[in-house]
Amino acid sequence: MAVLLRMPEVAANATHATLQAWALNEGEAIAVGDCIAEIETDKAVVELNAEAAGVLGRQLIRAGQEVEVGAPIGVVLVNGETAIDIDALITAAGGAPAAQAAQPQPAEAPPAPVAMPAEAAAPRIFASPLARRLASQHGVALAGLRGSGPNGRIVKRDIEREAGQGQAEPPAAANAAGVASAALPAGAYTEVPHSGMRRTIARRLGESKATIPHFYLSADCRMERLLALRAEINTGAAHKISVNDFIVRAVAVALREVPGANVGWTDTTMRQYHQADVAVAVSTDTGLITPIVRAADQKPLSVISAEIADLAARARASQLRPEEYQGGSFSVSNLGMFGVAEFSAIINPPQAAILAVGATQAVPVVEGGEIRPGQVMRCTLSADHRAIDGALGAQWLTAFKRLIENPLSMLI
């Protein structure tokens, strides 16, 4: 029989996903393990592989369309069928069996009225159960509402959009919108829809900044020894070690030395991580992603460097697997290569800390009462005060500074 393809939950707790592209056309043969479509999560693009051989009978949604997890997206014909009532298949899979509608009424049931009410004669409204529940809560009428789901089905975002349009704007917001509209002539800007990654980043960072009690500690690290060691290592080396590779290694070793900072916060528990899984912020065309160097405290510098290069390249190509960017015990965000001298980063929960790294700058420093030229890198630790107090944060930052300024000690 035919198999109904549904949108998979490709990321933990995901409610929606986008079908980025179909890998096969309708009517093309499918072998077990073949890629049928590419699904975009909030962080990467993953393949939807066939679990049974057959033929792609129908594409139910178009490329680029976002649907709820579990919603039908296609039909695979697996036993040589040449035609099928796909609408009936979808109805049978998602609603009451057709046989139930065909059951005769009990003898004691009252006769059906001859004149049907107008509501019964109205066309059937296709909406997801969640959309129906939200519509009831917000007082949104489903009749006449245009759905954006498969085959015009009304889904959650349609109700949210309609409910939002029905709410009156606060006067200040309305006035601001009016001023902005008046100040910008038609054609002065282009509205670009948010990608799934952008929406997720906005939501998570907004929640983080609003709910986590951030505090910040900064330290200036002397970089002369590290830069000299890096230059010596890279002399004649096929793969060059970057300053960021040293930073990730120093972060990991400092977490091993100060395990109290290698923690995460949840509503019910404190997570004490057993190894230093360092997430490294990577900028991509669709947003920021943080691939993770697992057990960085147990890996030599050369392995860390190779892993970061590989993860960053695949992150920019949207080829990371979920397990390569989900989790982590600590994050590093380095804007030094852009010439940024200092900044503060937002914590990525449930992690409890992130280190913001600025550029190494040539500045005058005081040594033995004398002013001398020096190379200094400013780092700022953002910490969750619920999990890491000020003294513990200072202890970790002191350990990190010592390792950066004495780089040979982190390589042993």
pLDDT of residue 34: 85
Mean pLDDT, residues 230-242 taken together? 93
Place of tokens 């890198």: 377
pLDDT of 54-90, one tens digit each?
888 889 998 888 888 888 898 888 876 665 666 777 6
Q: What is the total residue count of the chain?
A: 412
Model confidence at 146: pLDDT above 50: yes
The ranges assigned to domains in the chain are 3-98, 120-164, 198-411
Average pLDDT of 12-26?
Answer: 81
**Cβ neighbours for 51, distance < 8 A, ≥ 6 positions apart:** 32
Is residue 194 annotated as a catalytic residue, yes or no? no
| Beta bridge pairs of residue 40 | 18, 45
Q: How confident is the model at residue 354 (pLDDT cuts 50, 70, 90)?
A: very high
Point out the least confidently predicted range of 2-6, 124-128, 198-202, 283-287.
124-128
Residues with Cβ < 8 Å from 385, sequence gap 6 or more?
Answer: 213, 214, 215
pLDDT at 83: 58
Extended strands (E) in 13-154: 16-22, 29-30, 35-40, 45-49, 54-59, 65-68, 72-77
Query: What are the tens digits of pLDDT across the range 337-353?
Result: 999 999 999 999 999 99
User: What single string gives the DSSP state of each residue in 107-125?
Assistant: TTSPPPPSSPPHHHHSPPP
Q: Which fold has domain 3-98?
A: OB fold (Dihydrolipoamide Acetyltransferase, E2P) (2.40.50)
User: Could you say which architecture CATH assigns to the domain 120-164?
Assistant: Irregular (4.10)
Contact 4, 90 (CB under 8 A): yes
Catalytic residue among 16, 138, 214, 385: 385
Strands 29-30 and 54-59: antiparallel
> What's the pLDDT band for 294 if we cut at 50, 70, 90?
very high
The CATH fold of domain 198-411:
Chloramphenicol Acetyltransferase (3.30.559)
